[in-house]
């Protein structure tokens, strides 16, 4: 996004040219347009799907924009019977931004610095905002969010069908664990100088992309631990720790992301993968650039609620992912680790309406 954004949280004109959440929080009053969410238990307002006070599910309310009366369940035409104004799920509210920012900082035990970049206004249908904690963590790792809540790295496509271990900075033992046990002649893999056929779902990413994804992995681990009380998943200290993890490749003009697996790194500024993998994204390798996204970043942070209402922008959507696997057992074991250990708990704690679909 331009300008870069740490958090999909609106600050209106209060944040200045940088949309600074910290600067906006210094104002006496902060009026922003945000979703009408109310806790079903304590009736307090909330920006999250769960109440920050009692952790009970919140409901999206239809309110009259003029008299602020809530819509009755029997009201089917979504118009106020007193002033005939259309009900909406969002409204301009005097939001307690200073308290919310201080609470987020305390939850993370991390103090943000200026500028903590938000957005001027939200574009989703219901004006749903991200928790400010996500923005503080992104600032910590110097990463930014896209308009759908994910963090992406754009890279040019390049086809590759064979490789050598010494070309991609991956040792033989690691390659064997990833399913590469023989070279292209069928000889057992014992040397880094042997030529190997590249599996169609595997990718070799630029070192610059690897450094970026390493920061994203650390952000995701902090998010799991500090926001949801879950164990770290990636535990990555160097780019080599990303080897074997899954990413999603997404072309800007399509609505389906293609899952790939990182097996190594290159000094060039291109993403090396099978022509089949690139073509699955509906891409020609003629200088086009696509996005790379960590799979768990999508599971945790993507939501249709953040996307603009304009239908054209639904094309930039990684929630529909397709995986073309030569070695399905290895890939399925990885995916089940995420599904069994993280998704059920996140479903109860976060209940994100991500509508993530995976086909194999």
Is residue 327 situated within a structural domain?
A: yes
270 or 2: whose pLDDT is higher? 270
- What is the average pLDDT across 150-154? 94
The Cα–Cα gap between 317 and 30 comes to 32
224 and 88: one domain? Answer: no
The Cα–Cα gap between 14 and 5 comes to 16
Is residue 3 situated within a structural domain?
A: no
* Domains contained in the chain, number: 2
Q: Kindly write down the DSSP assignment for every residue of 170-213, as one continuous string.
A: --HHHHHHTT--B-TTS-B---TTSEEEPPTTEEEEEHHHHHHH
The Cα–Cα gap between 103 and 115 comes to 18
The Cα–Cα gap between 46 and 86 comes to 22
CATH at residue 287: 2.40.40.20
120 and 232: one domain? Answer: no
157 and 92: one domain? Answer: no
134 and 157: one domain? Answer: no
Q: Does pLDDT of 334 surpass 70? A: no
- What is the average pLDDT across 145-168? 93
Q: Does pLDDT of 339 surpass 60? A: no
Q: In Å, how far are 101, 125, 255 from 219, measured between CA atoms?
A: 19, 27, 26
- Maximum average pLDDT range among 215-219, 321-325, 352-356: 215-219
Angle between helices 97-108 and 207-228 (to 10 degrees): 100
Residue 216 is predicted with a pLDDT of 98
Report percent pLDDT > 70 for the chain: 83
Residue 244 is predicted with a pLDDT of 95
Enclosing domain of residue 275: 153-161+198-359
Is residue 258 situated within a structural domain?
A: yes
331, 325 contact by CB (below 8 A): yes
Q: pTM of the predicted model, to two decimals?
A: 0.84
Q: Does pLDDT of 84 surpass 80? A: no
22 and 84: one domain? Answer: yes
Average pLDDT of the chain to the nearest whole number: 83
Q: Does pLDDT of 77 surpass 70? A: no
pLDDT category at 320 given cuts 50, 70, 90 is low
Residue 251 is predicted with a pLDDT of 85
Is residue 174 situated within a structural domain?
A: no
The Cα–Cα gap between 354 and 158 comes to 31
């Amino acid at each position: 996004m331009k300008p870069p954004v740490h958090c999909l949280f609106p600050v209106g004109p209060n944040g200045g040219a940088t949309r600074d959440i910290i600067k906006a929080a210094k104002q006496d009053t902060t009026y922003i347009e945000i979703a009408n969410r109310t806790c079903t238990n304590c009736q307090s307002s909330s920006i999250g799907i769960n109440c920050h006070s009692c952790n009970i599910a919140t409901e999206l309310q239809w309110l009259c924009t003029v008299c602020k009366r809530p819509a009755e369940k029997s009201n089917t035409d979504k118009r106020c019977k007193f002033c005939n104004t259309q009900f909406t799920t969002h409204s301009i509210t005097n939001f307690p931004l200073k308290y919310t920012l201080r609470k987020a900082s305390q939850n993370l035990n991390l103090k943000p610095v200026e500028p903590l970049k938000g957005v001027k206004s939200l574009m989703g249908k219901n004006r749903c905002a991200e928790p400010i904690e996500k923005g503080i963590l992104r600032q910590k790792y110097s990463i930014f969010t896209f308009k759908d809540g994910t963090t992406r790295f754009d890279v040019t496509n390049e086809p590759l069908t064979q490789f050598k271990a010494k070309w991609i900075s991956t040792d033989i033992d690691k390659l064997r664990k990833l399913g590469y046990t023989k070279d292209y002649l069928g000889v057992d893999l014992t040397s880094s100088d042997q030529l190997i056929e590249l599996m169609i779902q595997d990718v070799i990413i630029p070192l610059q992309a690897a450094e970026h994804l390493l920061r994203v992995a650390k952000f995701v681990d902090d998010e799991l631990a500090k926001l949801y009380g879950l164990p770290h998943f990636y535990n990555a200290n160097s780019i080599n720790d990303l080897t074997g993890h899954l990413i999603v490749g997404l072309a800007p003009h399509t609505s389906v992301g293609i899952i790939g697996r990182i097996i190594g790194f290159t000094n060039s500024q291109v993403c090396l993968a099978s022509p089949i993998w690139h073509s699955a994204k509906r891409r020609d390798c003629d200088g086009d650039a696509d996005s790379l996204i960590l799979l768990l970043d999508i599971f945790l942070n993507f939501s249709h609620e953040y996307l603009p209402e304009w239908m054209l922008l639904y094309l930039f959507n990684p929630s529909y992912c397709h995986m073309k696997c030569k070695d399905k057992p290895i890939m399925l074991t990885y995916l089940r680790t995420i599904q069994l250990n993280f998704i059920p708990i996140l479903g109860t704690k976060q209940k994100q309406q991500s509508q993530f679909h995976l086909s194999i």
